[in-house]
Each structure stands twice: as C-alpha cells, then as structure tokens.
Amino acid sequence: MKRLESQEDYLEKILQISQRKENVHAIDIAREMNFSKPSVSVAMNKLKEAGFIVINNKDEIILTEKGKAIAEKTLEKHLILTDILVSIGVDKKVATEDACKLEHDISDETWLAIKSHVKK
C-alpha cells in the first residue's frame, strides 16, 4: 500500500520534534506544521490505526519501529535533497520546500542512485 505524502510528513515531523523534546504531543505537531489541533488529531488517529504510532495515557505520541523507519527514511531524503539543491545554487528556503516535494515522489531506484553518488 502506498503511503500518503501527508503521513510521511507527519511521521517526519514527529521524529524531528522527538529529537528536540522528550515528549511529543499533538499540539507540538500542530504548532510546527501550522495545522489546527483537530486536523492533527484526525491524522494521529489514522497513523495509530496504520500502526505507525502509539499514543500513551499521557497523550504522548511515540513512533513505532515501523513509523520510525519511514520517518528516518523521509528525513534522510529531505536533508540530502536539500543539501544537493543548495549546492547547485538554489536558495535554502526554496531548496527545503522543493526537497519536501521530491522526497515523496522519488523512486527507490533513483533514491539509491543519489545516495550512492553523494557518498562518493
């Protein structure tokens, strides 16, 4: 099943917040993504149903191994693609926005070739 771009964005944001804060709540995600709390709550329920996150009794959002793997892959793509775009002269803000679009649509074959090329 193909994941939705929005699911990957949410998982990536949860990972980013968890790298800065001990606990992640829906309000943190809403603030950082500039979404309403009800919209984020709906999305979190979908992620929970899909097995990407768990929400404990303190309403803390925790990535499952499955969710963390997707989040890490999405974040890695985002960071590397941003760096590549900046290195060829794209403005950092534009590069960040474009990388966010590219990270969802790039094929695994192309992504592996880019990663291999960057490592050289």
Q: Tell me the per-residue pLDDT of 16-51, one tens digit each, with 9 for 90 and over.
A: 999 999 999 999 999 999 999 999 999 999 999 999
Do 13 and 37 reside in the same domain of the chain?
yes
Prediction pTM value: 0.88
Looking at 46, 66, 86, the residue that finishes a domain is 66
On whether both 60 and 12 belong to a single domain, the answer is yes
Contact 95, 50 (CB under 8 A): no
Burial of 10 (C-beta count, 10 Å sphere; 0-12/13-18/19+): buried
114 and 98 together in one domain = yes
CATH number of the domain to which 89 belongs: 1.10.60.10
Same domain, 53 and 76: no
Residue 59 DSSP code = -
Cα 54 from Cα 45, distance rounded (Å): 9
Residues 57 and 91 in one domain: no
* The residue type at 60: E
Residues 23, 74: one domain?
no
Beta strands in 44-88 (DSSP E): 53-55, 61-63
User: pLDDT tens for residues 72-84?
Assistant: 999 999 999 999 9
